[in-house]
Amino acid sequence: MSVSVFGSLNLDLALRLPVRAAWGQTLLVQDGETAVGGKGLNQAIASARFGSQTRMAGAVGRDEAGALLREALDADGVDTALVETLGGHASGRATILIEPAGDNMIMVEAGANLAARAGGAIAAIDARTRVLLVQLESDIDELAALFASEAARPVRKILNAAPAVSAGSRLFDLSDMVIFNQSECAEYLQLDREPENLNDLLVARRLLNRPGQAVVVTLGAAGSAAVWADRAIFSPAIRAEAVVDTSGAGDCFCGTIAACVDQGIGAQDALRLANAAASLSVARKGAAPSMPMRSEVDALVAASA
């Protein structure tokens, strides 16, 4: 069995701010670093480190950043045969501003990511492919073509509906599972406040249109929840260490969930494992570099039992 991820690959510039930034303010930053990232790449690495055979599909530019992104995936054993190298496009880049408490603001220059085509990913779906995982930093038409393809019909299709863009709702009916955070949930459902608990999330059933579909929402420090038409479950957060950087937490959660689905792990256990993985990730710097190994996740879950 395996997980296929179609999505973005970015070279991240992370700047750690000395104080919370104000609009129009100039800050001198002494702690900055460059690392690989992008929602697609982060989630692929999270899946691979959790133990699933993982394939990455997407696009990079014919530049130094593109080479670094490929090398990072290769180092974690992610199959990069479907990562195109495109002339005439720069690789995607992101600037991440990290405030002292670990909260962040991310600005993305999509570059080659918006030129990635799904044809190769569709053609590569085979009997081993159990999960398709996508995000919304790629062309929406390409994502829809992938999920609507006949080849993808028997595969579990997971949409991380981030960043929140209105066109992303086109993919909801094509998805078996939709994952988003509190703010994205509130935006898509046009709620007047962010959901804080399981009862708040029952309204997410409005997004379901067929049996078996699920909506999963991360609730920050509270944990996460999943909602189906006929049931709902909640899993509390698992504390690890002090928060250092939250920029990869959502991607870590999504990649771990995809690997759990691939490995046949039940929903309640999957939420708990994904919560633990995300907790480990926020205690480390960077996005992709912060993704934990399966052994670390299992150890944290065992220690918290």
List, as one string, the DSSP characters of 191-238: -SS---SHHHHGGGGGG--STT-EEEEE-GGGEEEEE-SS-EEEEE--
199 is in an annotated binding site: no
Q: Which residues contact 67 (CB under 8 A, 6 or more apart)?
A: none
Q: Which of 169, 150, 153, 152 is closest to 161 using CA atoms?
A: 169
251 is annotated as an active-site residue: yes
284 is in an annotated binding site: yes
Catalytic residue among 79, 200, 251, 262: 251
193 is in an annotated binding site: no
223 is in an annotated binding site: yes
Find residue 216's DSSP bridge partners: 179, 226
**CA–CA gap between residue 79 and residue 124 (Å, rounded):** 12
281 is in an annotated binding site: yes
39 is in an annotated binding site: yes
15 is in an annotated binding site: no
286 is in an annotated binding site: yes
**CA–CA gap between residue 270 and residue 263 (Å, rounded):** 10
220 is in an annotated binding site: yes
Which tokens belong to 298? 């299992």
Side-chain-facing half-sphere of 53: CA atoms under 13 Å: 5
159 is in an annotated binding site: no
Q: Which residues contact 275 (CB under 8 A, 6 or more apart)?
A: 223, 224, 235, 236, 237, 238, 253
275 is in an annotated binding site: yes
**CA–CA gap between residue 111 and residue 64 (Å, rounded):** 14
Q: Are 246 and 282 in contact (CB under 8 A)?
A: yes
80 is in an annotated binding site: no
11 is in an annotated binding site: yes
**CA–CA gap between residue 109 and residue 94 (Å, rounded):** 6
38 is in an annotated binding site: yes
237 is in an annotated binding site: no
Known catalytic residues are 251
Binding residues: 10-12, 38-42, 137, 181, 218-223, 245, 247, 250-251, 275, 281, 284, 286, 290
Binding residues for substrate: 10-12, 38-42, 137, 251
Residues forming the annotated binding site for ATP?
Answer: 181, 218-223, 250-251, 275
Which residue ranges are tagged as binding site for K(+)? 245, 247, 281, 284, 286, 290
